[in-house]
Amino acid sequence: MATPQTAAADAQSRPEPGYRPEVQGLRALAVLMVVTYHVWLGRVSGGVDIFLLISAFLMTLSFARKVEGGKPLRLLGHWLHLLKRLLPAVVVVILGVLAGTRVILPENRWPDVLEQAWASLWYRQNWLLADTAVDYYAQDHSGASPLQHFWSLSIQGQVFLLWPLVFAAAALLWRFLRRTGLGARVSYAALLAAAFGAIFVASLVFSIGQTATNQSFAYFDTRTRLWEFALGSLLALALPHLKPGKTLRVVLGWTGLAAVLSCGLLLTVDRSFPGFIALWPTLAAAAIIVAGQSGSRFGVDRLLTWKPLVALGDNSYALYLWHWPLLVLGLAGMGIPAPNLVQGLAIVAASIVLAVLTTLFVEKPLREWHWPQRRVWRTAVVIAACGALLAGPVSVWQSRILADEAAAAAQPKELTPGAAALSPENAGKPTPDAKIIPAPAAMKNEWADIDGLCTEDNVPGDPLLAGCLQNSRPDTVTKRIVVLGDSHAQQYMAALGPVARSHGWEVVALLKGNCRFGGESPERDAECNAFNQASAKYVLDRRPDAVFTVASLTHKDAPFETEVPDYLEGIQAFTGAGMEVVGIRDNPRFNMSMPECVQKNGPEAPKCRVPLQESLADSSPLDAYRGRVPGLHLMDLSDFICADAICPAVVGNVYVYKDDNHLTKTYVQSMIPMFEQRLLAATGWT
């Protein structure tokens, strides 16, 4: 599982003094929890946290024995040996994931999987996911990355680089103190306890703070997880001094097991990890380890040393590697958001089979291969060969994607007219032979461009508006416009921005995801209402010439389009102060990713061409606003998004949508002439 074996984990294959089969059983229990919760429950189990603790526990036992026994640490050899044990299974699984991705996943998801393949290989997957704010709790795993679970392996890899440095530094200090007589009574274990105690406190405090303020980032942040490793190390150092009686061992063991199993069931922990709540599974696991071999037939170790469970623990690393890709690819292939009991059992069974095969034919042979063990450089050669085995296919695939993207972008414009194909002049000549643009690999870059953060007198004073954006200020400003709303307002910046530049308009954007602008309403959350109030104050303080908004609100299910809650109440303060307001009609939303529909079924497939009556209201909600508010100008571009009672995924060889509800930048840019014409006609601007 997310427990790369350290040198101490050689005990998995050959019993030796200090071998603890109940820890191996605990490892198996943890991986079963992770798999079960991922497949059926979609919640945090605490199993990964247990693995982090166990990995540090075993590593600390190994290094402490080495130093106290006078053996050299040989850190380079240790790191290379560790990588030799870990990388082969990783490479096999990632290659399997790439094959499944090529067959099952739509093209627009390929670049992200390839990027994560590199991140997984270099043990930085957790930082990649943190930077992209991945939702690890999404109920629909079919849309997740099949390599997303490598975040925990990446954290462990980083700690397996850091922890030996702590052991080495403590060893140097210990030997110095002994030579100088300054600390003859200070033991090596005491120095380690001080170091890991400090790490534990600092990391736990940081974790609690970060989880409370930015949980989606904190979940993947190595710094918020160090205390879990430190707890495992402190447990290893304290264990020789903990000698509970038989009865207490029985109580500790079963109490710990009950706490481990109940963590994700009793606590609503999904948005709380890895703050203080992660003490629940880690302390529970620590209690089981302290209980150890109880010497009683009633001890929990009787269960945890059960041979099938210990055998599963031997395969836990590979099982963790395989279960998530099989779940994600299986759901994507079946086109379902979550498995039922039978489907889930099939995924688990396949994961166990692949895990056993990987352990038997990849991990074990390489672990027992003596040639690399004789020279450090030989181990390095094996590691390099494993990396090259993965790097080659990934590099070739990425090169082909870039070539396809360039070929699509280089097509003559008349073959990809986009919205112009729906204009009366029919300005383009789309043909079936032309490539649809943008290329799937470029889809993630299809957000409207905004030049940068607000500058000079456009900078807001309210911290709620710290994300204020603006296009470059023209040399001569003829009009000042503020864009208010959410991502559906942002997408029209792809048209408004170029039009503004050609007319000398300055454009500022105050945007917040999923927060349509309007007056204060109970239909919005408190955070959105506060943002809108701050945005309104910004406008009233600066008095721009006009405000641009999206004035209707579309939905995935009926009713498909409604008025924005308290829209008129929100804009009347502006119009009452003499400012003009432009309200544009919203675009449709769907229950599927429109580009993925095209990639799976083709642009002419009926399911990718949704009836207008299932996309927008029969008549625009904006019609009710006409004449009610002087200074409100209404725009409707829906006839350049939907035509002939159909809202297609592709128009004029251009993807209309980048997902299930956002227009692509490329398509909005193809609407620039129509956008400009209708904006000027609605407002009377020149």
Q: Is the pLDDT of residue 437 over 60?
A: yes
* Structure confidence by residue, pLDDT tens digits, 154-173: 999 999 999 999 999 999 99
Beta bridge partners of 643: 646
Look at residue 267 and tell me whether its pLDDT is greater than 80: no
Enclosing H/E stretch for 501: helix 493-503
Backbone angles phi, psi at 485, to 5 degrees: 135, -145
Ordered DSSP codes for 77-135: HHHHHHHHHHHHHHHHHHHHHHHHHHHHS-GGGHHHHHHHHHHHHTT-HHHHHHHTT--
580 is written with which tokens? 């003009």
**Average pLDDT for residues 353-370, to the nearest whole number?**
93
What's the confidence (pLDDT) of residue 139? 53
Question: What pLDDT score does 2 carry?
Answer: 40
The predicted model scores a pTM of 0.86
Tokens matching residue 229: 């490793």
Instruction: Report d(CA 378, CA 653) in Å as an integer.
Output: 54
What gap in Å lies between CA 161 and CA 76, rounded to an integer? 10
pLDDT at 602 exceeding the cut of 70: yes
Contacts of 307 (CB under 8 A, 6+ apart): none
Return the domain boundaries, the chain: 7-392, 439-683
Q: Which helix (H) or strand (E) holds 469?
A: strand 469-470
Confidence of residue 15 (pLDDT cuts 50, 70, 90): very low
Tens digit of each residue's pLDDT (9 = 90 or more) over 201-213: 999 999 999 999 8
Q: What is the mean pLDDT of residues 358-377?
A: 90
pLDDT in tens, 28-86: 999 999 999 899 887 778 899 999 999 999 999 999 999 988 899 999 999 999 999 99
More confident residue, 681 or 627: 681
Mean pLDDT within 274-302: 92
Residue scoring higher pLDDT (184 or 252): 252
Residue 572: predicted pLDDT: 95
Query: Sorting pLDDT into bands at 50, 70 and 90, what band is 329?
Result: very high
- The pLDDT of residue 431 is 73
DSSP conformational letter for 604 = T
Helices vs strands, H then E, count in the chain:
24, 13
DSSP 277: G
Give residue-wise pLDDT tens across range 460-488: 999 999 999 999 999 999 999 999 999 99
CATH architecture, domain 439-683:
3-Layer(aba) Sandwich (3.40)
In which band, very low, low, confident or very high, does the pLDDT at 134 lie, cut at 50, 70 and 90? low
Bridging pattern class, strands 650-651 and 452-453:
unpaired
The chain-wide mean pLDDT, for the chain, equals 91
SS3 of 338-401: the string is: CCCHHHHHHHHHHHHHHHHHHHHHHHHHHHHCCHHHHCHHHHHHHHHHHHHHHHHHHHHHHHHH
CA distances (Å), 484 to each of 86, 135, 434, 543, 546, in order?
50, 26, 37, 14, 11
Report CA-CA distances (Å) from 271 to 130, 210, 280, 449, 526: 15, 12, 15, 32, 19
Cis peptide before 565 (omega within 30 of 0): no
